[in-house]
Structure 1
Amino acid sequence: MGDKPGLLLVNLGSPDAPTAKATRKYLGQFLHDYRVIDTTRWLWCPILHGIILRVRPAKSAKAYASIWAEPEGLEGPHDKMEAPLVRITRGQAEGVQARLGENVEVEIAMRYGNPSIGHGLDALKAKGCTRIAVLPLYPQYAGATTASVYDGVAMALEERMDVPELRFLRHYYDDPRYIAALASSIDDHLATLDWTPDCIMTSYHGLPQSYVDKGDPYQGECFETTELLRQHMGKTKSELYATFQSRFGPKAWLQPYTDKTLEKLPDEGVKKVAVMMPGFSADCLETLEEIKIEAHETFEEHGGTHFTAIPCLNTREDHLDLLADLARERLLNGWL
């Protein structure tokens, strides 16, 4: 069949269905990852299995159910059968495949859940790919995301005798084309509104502060993304700034917190807010439910009058162009 290079697009993942059973299985895999929770296993596992996986799946399943059919405009063979994150990633793969042409095979994988990394590697192997490039769909590097993809690939290959040649993309948080795509997405979305926001918040997924204290560069890369976006758009620090969402557990997480910032803004005279999530390449639970629904409610409860969540880059043409260019220039160079 020849020796085409393969490209594996990897994102975080979602449950197979918006049910407590499926969510429990997904959370069990996710929260067992030492990159995600670095607490000693003898202490963490009893908490995880004795408390969290007994209580949280039902609540999380309800949240997934509220966004399962979103976002609009993704009709097709996978419509409503898979979580938004998985459906969008499939659309991204189709767009990247069209741009790279028949000389490359493109597949998707999820770090947790399905389709698994092992499934993606098997699919590429079945197509004759012995050289595989892995593109984690995380613009900013973090040990809990990008490095965990490295681990996932290694674990998927650890019992195989025939291991492919591998290349990995570490990050693309400062690529000018990524910054330009973010700026264009803001302009396009705000043009659909009949009001103008007082400020734009860039909300990134949080990490425990201890991870950054140990050397994780994630926080700095998030701040740099926002600074580059600010410069590109000619905004001031009060007009466009970074916050962090999705706290979990009692530890201190990266600040400023998105929810706490939204709570205090109305008292400071900021009544109209737009929130974008530059660290997410595709809309998912954390953007569609946590920000679009929960954060919206929080802002209005504290006196805000206008709120909008700017969609992730998803399958925008400029985003697909970026992903294809990153693959050509930084992963497939010399293989084509």
Structure 2
Amino acid sequence: MTLPTNHPDVKTGKIGLLLVNLGTPDDPSTSSVRRYLKEFLSDRRVVNIPRLIWLPILHGIILNTRPKRSAAAYKKIWREDDNESPLRYFTAQQSHQMALKWPDLVVDYAMRYGNPSLSEKMAAMTKQGCDRILVVPLYPQYSAATNASVSDAVFDYLKAQMWQPTIRIAHPWYRHPAYIGALAAQVQAHLATVTDEPDKILLSFHGLPKESLPKGDPYYCHCQVTGRLLAEALGWPTDRVLISFQSRFGPAKWLQPYTSDTFEALPAQGVKNLLVLTPGFATDCLETLEEIGMEGVETFKEAGGEHCTLLPCLNDSELGMAMLEAVLTDELAGWYTPEQGL
């Protein structure tokens, strides 16, 4: 088709694949952490408290006290060689690996909070000619505080666009056979390297306020399904694969049992050898490496536990990338297949 000579240069016909993770400070300084927490904790999906009550607390107390403590924690896990947070490093690696696997697509990554921003990456994909974009919230289990927040940001961006690309939001993969299989294979590979099997496996998921469940958020149920299916895949009884919830914040009751309480209680119940996974996180981050890998392990041992091993998140491992490829192949059906191309 011949276009008029004065037709604007508009690129079309490409498919974008945008991986979206939660977010991270740009560096482990107090000021950078404060900027990140301000954006994160201002999201109504994250903190569902009336603004007249919450904003004075956020700006008057939390942003004046928490950033310094969080910055100290980030410094413990910061990747000095890359000058990068683990979360952004591994998300970038996942994006890079998917781009190598599927060179026909425009593949990139964004953060819901912080940099690179979701709107920035959506605009860049559109400019490159993507008129179809698969947005992939990197959360295996759906929650309004994570998946829905990503959708909110995507459609807030689209509201300002005259020509909107067609959008798909990837379905959570909490029960996808490739995801359960990758978790089981990771556990089995670890067990093959040890002489004593763990007494229990603890699956620690990020917590949510307890009120989220009766309000209709399926997150708690998704976590339970993941735990049950993993136990079945391993051939273990369900009471040997435990589920707990970490990272609670504020005075309200959150989903239970709490991971911190579980670490304290298990040794008294005869659990001396514990294997821990954090399957709700697609990449390692502050909550996995510092909260569980450092604080949690220390709590368990101080309570009388002897051995506590934290397996890394699937990250950009061979298992993790094969899992993502299988999940996203399903999500791209009708748009793109690796064998047939566009």
Tell me which interval the TM-score lies in, with the shorter structure as reference length: over 0.9
Instruction: Tell me which residue corresponds to 1:38.
Output: 48
Paired residue for 2:90, among 59, 83, 88?
88
Distance in 1 (CA, whole Å) between partners of 2:71 and 2:65 is 11
Does the aligned pair in 2 maintain the 1:168–1:331 contact within 8 Å?
A: no
Does the aligned pair in 1 maintain the 2:176–2:327 contact within 8 Å?
A: no
Distance in 2 (CA, whole Å) between partners of 1:190 and 1:283 is 21
Unaligned runs of 5+ in 2: 1-10, 337-341
User: Following TM superposition, by how much is the alpha carbon of 1:194 offset from its aligned partner in structure 2, in angstroms?
Assistant: 5.2
Letter in 2 for 1:18: P
Report the TM-score, using the length of structure 1 for normalisation.
0.94
Instruction: Tell me which residue corresponds to 2:261.
Output: 260
Paired residue for 1:22, among 20, 23, 32?
32
User: Following TM superposition, by how much is the alpha carbon of 1:191 offset from its aligned partner in structure 2, in angstroms?
Assistant: 3.5
Instruction: Tell me which residue corresponds to 1:76.
Output: none
Letter in 2 for 1:242: I
> Where do 1:277-316 residues align within 5 Å?
277-316=278-317
Letter in 2 for 1:3: G
Letter in 2 for 1:93: S
Distance in 2 (CA, whole Å) between partners of 1:160 and 1:27 is 28
Letter in 2 for 1:286: E
Distance in 1 (CA, whole Å) between partners of 2:334 and 2:118 is 23
User: Following TM superposition, by how much is the alpha carbon of 1:94 offset from its aligned partner in structure 2, in angstroms?
Assistant: 1.3
User: Following TM superposition, by how much is the alpha carbon of 1:188 offset from its aligned partner in structure 2, in angstroms?
Assistant: 2.2
Instruction: Tell me which residue corresponds to 2:339.
Output: none
Q: Does 1:9 align with 2:11?
A: no
Number of residue equivalences: 327
- State the percentage of identical aligned residues: 48
SS in 2 for 1:181: helix
Distance in 1 (CA, whole Å) between partners of 2:144 and 2:12 is 35
Instruction: Tell me which residue corresponds to 1:53.
Output: 63
Cα deviations by residue, 1:168-205 (Å, 9 ceiling, x for unpaired):
11211000110000011112234344543111101100
Does the aligned pair in 2 maintain the 1:146–1:170 contact within 8 Å?
A: no
Distance in 2 (CA, whole Å) between partners of 1:158 and 1:66 is 40
Does the aligned pair in 2 maintain the 1:96–1:321 contact within 8 Å?
A: no
Distance in 1 (CA, whole Å) between partners of 2:287 and 2:125 is 30
Does the aligned pair in 1 maintain the 2:171–2:331 contact within 8 Å?
A: no
> Where do 1:132-147 residues align within 5 Å?
132-147=133-148
> Per the alignment, do residues 191 and 19 of structure 1 end up closer, same or farther by CA in structure 2, a change over 3 Å counting?
farther
User: Following TM superposition, by how much is the alpha carbon of 1:327 offset from its aligned partner in structure 2, in angstroms?
Assistant: 2.1
Does the aligned pair in 2 maintain the 1:206–1:244 contact within 8 Å?
A: yes
User: Following TM superposition, by how much is the alpha carbon of 1:330 offset from its aligned partner in structure 2, in angstroms?
Assistant: 1.6
Of the structure 1 ranges 123-132 and 322-331, higher mean CA displacement relative to structure 2 is found in: 322-331
SS in 2 for 1:256: coil
SS in 2 for 1:243: strand
Report the TM-score, using the length of structure 2 for normalisation.
0.92
Does the aligned pair in 1 maintain the 2:206–2:247 contact within 8 Å?
A: yes
Letter in 2 for 1:171: P
Of the structure 1 ranges 164-173 and 35-44, higher mean CA displacement relative to structure 2 is found in: 164-173
Instruction: Tell me which residue corresponds to 1:207.
Output: 208
Instruction: Tell me which residue corresponds to 2:8.
Output: none
User: Following TM superposition, by how much is the alpha carbon of 1:63 offset from its aligned partner in structure 2, in angstroms?
Assistant: 0.4
Does the aligned pair in 2 maintain the 1:12–1:112 contact within 8 Å?
A: yes
Distance in 2 (CA, whole Å) between partners of 1:54 and 1:195 is 47
User: Following TM superposition, by how much is the alpha carbon of 1:82 offset from its aligned partner in structure 2, in angstroms?
Assistant: 2.0
Across the aligned residues of Structure 1 and Structure 2, the Cα RMSD in angstroms comes to 1.4
Q: Does 1:177 align with 2:178?
A: yes
Does the aligned pair in 1 maintain the 2:213–2:220 contact within 8 Å?
A: yes
User: Following TM superposition, by how much is the alpha carbon of 1:2 offset from its aligned partner in structure 2, in angstroms?
Assistant: 4.8
Does the aligned pair in 1 maintain the 2:278–2:288 contact within 8 Å?
A: yes
Distance in 1 (CA, whole Å) between partners of 2:319 and 2:311 is 16
Q: Does 1:323 align with 2:324?
A: yes
Letter in 2 for 1:24: R
SS in 2 for 1:13: strand
Letter in 2 for 1:99: K
SS in 2 for 1:289: helix
Instruction: Tell me which residue corresponds to 2:5.
Output: none
Distance in 1 (CA, whole Å) between partners of 2:168 and 2:106 is 15
